Amino acid sequence: MVGINEFRDDRIAPLNFAVKDSSDFVNFLEDPNGGRFKPARIEHLVNQRATLSGIREALGRLRVNAKPDDLVVVYLSSHGSPRDSDPNGVSYIITHDTDLGGPDKLYATSLQMIDLVQMLNRDLRARRVVLILDTCFSGDARSGMGTGGAGSKAIERVWPATPAADSPASTAFSEALQNLKVGYGRAVITASRADELSWESSELHNGYFTYLLLDVLRAAHGTESLDKVFPRVSANVSSQVKKERNASQNPSCEFREYAASIVLGVPETD
């Protein structure tokens, strides 16, 4: 579980509720009437601990420790970079120590979506892996807290960048997330489409997506499969963001081979 409000580079606007988003998700997972995860099995990185190396080390521990029959849930709430910030059209998750000094610095100090997806897909032995992202990781947001508006999770682009001519078009998922579909039992759920912003709510004190996802999960007491949970979450997010922000935010999902039947609640006897 990762939540980042504060960033070392002062060109990155702080977020208000990313840490609370991640804390609330941890609380659901530990709830005996919710996820029923053992607290010792949950790793929670926030702010200064959520550096690029810190996140990669935590993923490395999953690589070592996750067993074939385990359920692995990876959740991240932070800024995301638009793909046109990179000359090759790569999307990034912004970590605490990301450097916006230029495309080369962004490449060296951010979590590439392709790296995250390939690790989860290739290196984990677990047959059930769920990736949940509450970020803007691609799309047309070019000046974050300015163009996107206060409360968006779009990172500010602070250098000129021209996407490659063959950069992928804007779709529901970045090319990296599409790669996850080749894995057995892999699920990806994102807060928005690739060309949309993900919004925070000062009224809810959360990101809309995380708040409404947890609302549905809690109501189901960790007993409903993802294919039943997701449609309600998507409809609720789209409706509330449209009503309160007059903006489009449509959560997206991809399920691969039995992933749709994954339940985010481990058996009580586990």
CB 127 within 8 A of CB 68: yes
User: Where do the domains of the chain lie?
Assistant: 2-261
**Is residue 193 scored above 90 in pLDDT?**
no
Name the one residue in this structure whose structure tokens are 């586990």: 270
Retrieve residue 261's tokens.
């039947």
Torsion of the alpha carbons at 102, 85, 175 and 145, rounded to the nearest 10: 120
Q: What is the spatial distance between Cα 104 and Cα 118, in angstroms, rounded to a whole number?
A: 21
Instruction: Quick: pLDDT tens for 51-87.
Output: 999 999 999 999 999 999 999 999 999 998 877 777 7
Q: Please tell me the number of Cα atoms within 13 Å of 195 on its side-chain side.
A: 5
CB 22 within 8 A of CB 2: yes
**Is residue 47 scored above 70 in pLDDT?**
yes
2-261: CATH topology is: Rossmann fold (3.40.50)
Largest CA-CA distance found in the chain, in angstroms, rounded: 55
Predicted local confidence at residue 267, as pLDDT = 79
CA distances to 57, 72, 92, 180, 187 from 253, in Å:
26, 17, 18, 11, 7
Average pLDDT over residues 172-195: 69
Cα 71 to chain centroid, rounded: 17
Predicted local confidence at residue 78, as pLDDT = 94
Predicted local confidence at residue 151, as pLDDT = 61
**Is residue 17 scored above 80 in pLDDT?**
yes
Q: Where are the alpha helices (DSSP H) in 95-253?
A: 103-109, 113-118, 175-179, 208-220, 226-245
Lowest mean pLDDT among 23-37, 107-121, 172-186: 172-186
Q: pLDDT exceeding 70 applies to what percent of the chain? A: 81
Predicted local confidence at residue 153, as pLDDT = 64
Place 157 in a pLDDT band, splitting at 50, 70 and 90: very low
Average pLDDT over residues 204-220: 96
CA distances to 16, 19, 80, 105, 155 from 83, in Å:
23, 24, 9, 15, 11
Average pLDDT over residues 4-32: 96
Retrieve residue 196's tokens.
């949309």
Predicted local confidence at residue 28, as pLDDT = 97
Q: What is the spatial distance between Cα 237 and Cα 216, in angstroms, rounded to a whole number?
A: 11
Instruction: Quick: pLDDT tens for 248-261.
Output: 999 988 888 889 99
Q: Which amino acid is at 191?
A: A
CB 142 within 8 A of CB 11: no
Q: What is the spatial distance between Cα 172 and Cα 192, in angstroms, rounded to a whole number?
A: 8
Q: Which amino acid is at 145?
A: M
CB 187 within 8 A of CB 131: yes
Mean pLDDT over each residue of the chain, to the nearest integer? 83
Q: What is the spatial distance between Cα 144 and Cα 154, in angstroms, rounded to a whole number?
A: 4
Q: Which residues pair with 143 in a beta bridge?
A: 156
pTM attached to this predicted model: 0.86
Q: What is the spatial distance between Cα 188 and Cα 129, in angstroms, rounded to a whole number?
A: 9
Q: What is the spatial distance between Cα 85 and Cα 167, in angstroms, rounded to a whole number?
A: 12
Predicted local confidence at residue 110, as pLDDT = 94
Average pLDDT over residues 43-47: 98
